[in-house]
């Protein structure tokens, strides 16, 4: 079970997924992505808890920077 979830950030511009960090026993801090339509109940639960603000404000999605093509 993942616990101590924090640092929510939208994983996409459409706001359908949220990335968080949390503690997983035996592994330490790990990333977790939750979706409102997740096939797992705990993923849906975490998504809706995050949307409700339980883990703090959700940071906006930041698109990845494209690779520098100038060194081609």
Give the DSSP letter of residue 59. Answer: B
Q: Quick one: pLDDT at residue 72?
A: 53
d(C-alpha 53, C-alpha 14), whole Å: 18
Nearest-5° Cα angle at 34, 5 to 39: 135
21-65 pLDDT per residue, tens: 999 999 999 999 999 999 999 999 999 999 999 999 999 999 988
Distance from chain centroid for Cα 38: 12
pTM above 0.95, yes or no: no
């Amino acid at each position: 079970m993942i616990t101590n979830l924090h640092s929510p950030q939208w994983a996409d511009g459409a706001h359908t997924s949220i990335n968080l960090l949390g503690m997983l026993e035996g592994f330490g801090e790990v990333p977790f992505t939750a979706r409102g339509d997740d096939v797992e109940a705990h993923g849906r639960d975490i998504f809706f808890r995050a949307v409700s603000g339980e883990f703090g404000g959700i940071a906006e999605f930041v698109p990845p920077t494209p690779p520098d093509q100038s060194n081609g």
